[in-house]
């Protein structure tokens, strides 16, 4: 699941955070060969965006479905089976042990699901320690991420979604067998928006991240190709030292 042989460009997951398929498709067309991996989240999925999955796959792109599943075991199993049939490359669910165990079981039982990467979401990057206390947790963000990382490893998950601030600690827990996917990436000098635990693309790679999910710094600017190329250049600099 690690990305040692992947070029920096292929480690960037561009978030298609749009209200319509038309706007999402327009960005994909604009980026062309500049991007190879796309994220479809709730906003686009609920606007019919799941229909884009086979289109993107046919165009040689990879697809990350960021749906953050959490439900009873039977519903999780059914959802994972449907996503596997759809052809997506990655799927997220909240890193609760029962949900992760059900997802792993569904993957094993689903024909054609061998290449589906199941990712457990540890702690949302928009949440800090105070937010977790308000939600009823007694653990800090780093402590909760570590616990969920260990639970994901025990359940047989393929990877985790985490803040760059927790990457190094989680890598010690899960070793090299699991992919670490990091949202909340902001190029130096860009607006953090509603993200509270962020790093730059270079810092994200240096911390040990495998994939970087990048949204507004690419999808909300006037020149997305130039933005993408600048991010890739920064990543190459981080890798090459």
The reported pLDDT for the residue numbered 44 is 98
pLDDT under 50: residue ranges of the chain: 192, 194-197
3-state helix, strand, coil in the chain (%, to 5): 50, 15, 35
Residue partners of 133: CB distance under 8 A and separation at least 6: none
Q: What is d(CA 35, CA 67) in angstroms, rounded to the nearest whole number?
A: 21
The reported pLDDT for the residue numbered 195 is 46
Query: pTM for the whole thing?
Result: 0.92
Instruction: Specify whether 68 is catalytic.
Output: yes
The reported pLDDT for the residue numbered 190 is 55
Q: Do 221 and 215 meet the contact criterion of CB atoms below 8 Å apart?
A: no
What region does 184 belong to: left with phi over 0, alpha with psi -120 to 50, or beta?
left
Domain ranges of the chain: 8-240
**Domain 8-240: homologous superfamily in CATH:** Aldolase class I (3.20.20.70)
Residue partners of 61: CB distance under 8 A and separation at least 6: 28, 35, 36, 37, 38
Give the pairing type, strands 179-182 and 90-94: unpaired
Q: Which of 39, 68, 107, 196 is catalytic?
A: 68
Q: What is d(CA 56, CA 39) in angstroms, rounded to the nearest whole number?
A: 11
**pLDDT tens-digit map of 43-55:** 999 999 999 999 9
The reported pLDDT for the residue numbered 152 is 98
**pLDDT tens-digit map of 149-161:** 999 999 999 999 9
């Amino acid at each position: 699941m690690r990305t040692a042989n992947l070029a920096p460009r292929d480690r960037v997951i561009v978030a298609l955070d749009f209200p319509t398929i038309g706007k999402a498709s327009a960005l994909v067309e604009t980026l062309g060969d500049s991007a190879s991996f796309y994220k479809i989240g709730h906003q686009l999925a609920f606007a019919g965006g799941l229909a884009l999955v086979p289109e993107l796959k046919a165009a040689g792109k990879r697809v990350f479905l960021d749906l953050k599943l959490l439900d009873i075991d039977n519903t999780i199993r059914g959802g994972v089976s449907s996503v596997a049939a759809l052809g997506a490359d990655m799927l997220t669910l909240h890193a609760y042990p029962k949900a992760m165990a059900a997802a792993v079981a569904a993957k094993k039982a689903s024909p054609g699901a061998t290449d589906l990467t199941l990712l457990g979401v540890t702690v949302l990057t928009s949440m800090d320690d105070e937010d977790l206390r308000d939600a009823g947790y007694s653990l800090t963000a780093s402590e909760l991420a570590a616990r969920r990382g260990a639970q994901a490893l025990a359940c047989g998950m393929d990877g985790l979604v985490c803040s760059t601030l927790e990457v190094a600690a989680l890598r010690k827990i899960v070793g090299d067998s699991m992919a670490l996917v990091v949202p909340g990436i902001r190029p130096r000098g860009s607006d953090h928006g509603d993200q509270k635990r962020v790093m730059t693309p270079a810092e994200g790679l240096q911390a040990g991240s495998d994939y970087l999910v990048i949204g507004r710094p690419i999808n909300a600017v006037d020149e997305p190709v130039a933005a993408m190329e600048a991010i890739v250049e920064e990543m190459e600099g981080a890798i090459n030292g």
